[in-house]
Structures are given as structure tokens and as C-alpha cells.
Chains A and B, each alone.
Chain A
Amino acid sequence: AQSVTQLGSHVSVSEGALVLLRCNYSSSVPPYLFWYVQYPNQGLQLLLKYTSAATLVKGINGFEAEFKKSETSFHLTKPSAHMSDAAEYFCAVSDTGGSTLGRLYFGRGTQLTVWP
């Protein structure tokens, strides 16, 4: 089964600073990769996805992520943090075919705090 590791359960940055949230996957075959954001008492919102096209993926709200096969990583970045970015962020993977296509495996999440 796929597994995802998110390094750092909590990340704190100042408003305007760079945001870097780390995600590594375990599969030897590159999977589909996703970042979701969850605000308190809400469901998950898709930020961006990698599905074997360009390795640098741009998402909503100024976020982007780069797929690095050699590092089995898919780190999420944003050049300048905003107070409204404070939330829980989840990295997820899916197999690219077969009976488990569409079955998302999530990391444990990273809580992002943005200080004024």
C-alpha cells in the first residue's frame, strides 16, 4: 500500500514569509500526488494535483508544488504567507491505475500557523 510522510506536524511562519510544507511518498512507481487544505470544522479543499504532466504544479491561492522523482518528494510552497493560509494541510497519493486507482492515502497533516 502507498504511504505518505509529512515532515513536521506544525509549521509556523510570519506573514509575508516563505511557506514550505514537506511531503514524501513511499512508492517505487510515481503515484498521483495531491495537496489538500482543511480549515477548522470543514471538509478538504483540493489545492493542487500532480498527474504525470509538468513536474511544477501551480494551484489555488498562490501555492505550488514540485514533483521530484529522485527524492520521492512533493513539497508545497508559497512565496509569501498570508494570515488566511493558517489551516491544516494534507498530502495524499493515489495509484495511477488498477483497482486501487482513486483510493487516496493521506499523510498525518501539517498545521500551518501564520504570525502577524
Chain B
Amino acid sequence: DAGVTQSPTHLIKTRGQHVTLRCSPISGHKSVSWYQQVLGQGPQFIFQYYEKEERGRGNFPDRFSARQFPNYSSELNVNALLLGDSALYLCASSPGHALYEQYFGPGTRLTVT
């Protein structure tokens, strides 16, 4: 079975621009979570979606938004990019009966210049 996939792999943006990151969960998984991993640190929780509803949001500004589609894929949007948004963005999917059991994709490396 295919694992979690994310696109694009790498992205370079300029300060002030907008970015959209995409994630496809493991087949059958109905929950998607997003994490930000800054270099040298552990991942930080941004959002969790379950059955297309936002289930939780971490301590991130309103510039960060996300949604989950009927096929359970998800998008993470970041507006007005700052240099500090440069990070590896990780998507994880979970089965509905075990939301804590998260399987991660390879991530999208975002560089803001």
C-alpha cells in the first residue's frame, strides 16, 4: 500500500508570498495532521482534521490555514510568508479508530527568502 504522499518536495518562496502544500493520506485513513519542523527541533503540531472537520489547532498565527477534502486529502496554506516559516512541513495520517497512531509523509521543505 502507498504511504502518505506530499507535494511538492521542495519549494522556494519570497517573503510576503502565499504557499499551498498538499497531502494524500494512506488509503482508508480519515484523519490528517500537519506539523512544522524547524531545523534542529522536533516537529510542532499545526492542525488536525478528521472527517473533513478541524479537530485541533496548535499555537500558530491565522496566516496558517488548512482544509480536508471529501477524499480525505488535505491542503495547508500559509499567507504572508515570513523568513521564520522556513521549515520542513510534515503531514501525517491516522486511522479513525486510533487518531494517536500517526504515519508521516516525507515532508515538504519550504525555504522563504
Contact = CB atoms under 8 A, between A and B. Distances in A.
Contacts of B48: 102-103
B94 A102 contact: yes
Interface string A30-41: 001010100001
B42 A107 contact: yes
Contacts of A94: 100
B106 A109 contact: no
Contacts of A90: 42-43
Given A42-B106, A90-B42, A99 B101 contact: no
Interface residues of A, number: 27
B33 A102 contact: yes
Interface residues of B, number: 27
Nearest to B45: A103
B108 to A, nearest CB: 10
18 contacts: A43-B106, A44-B43, A44-B104, A45-B104, A46-B104, A49-B100, A49-B101, A96-B100, A99-B56, A102-B31, A102-B55, A103-B33, A104-B43, A104-B92, A105-B45, A107-B42, A109-B40, A109-B41
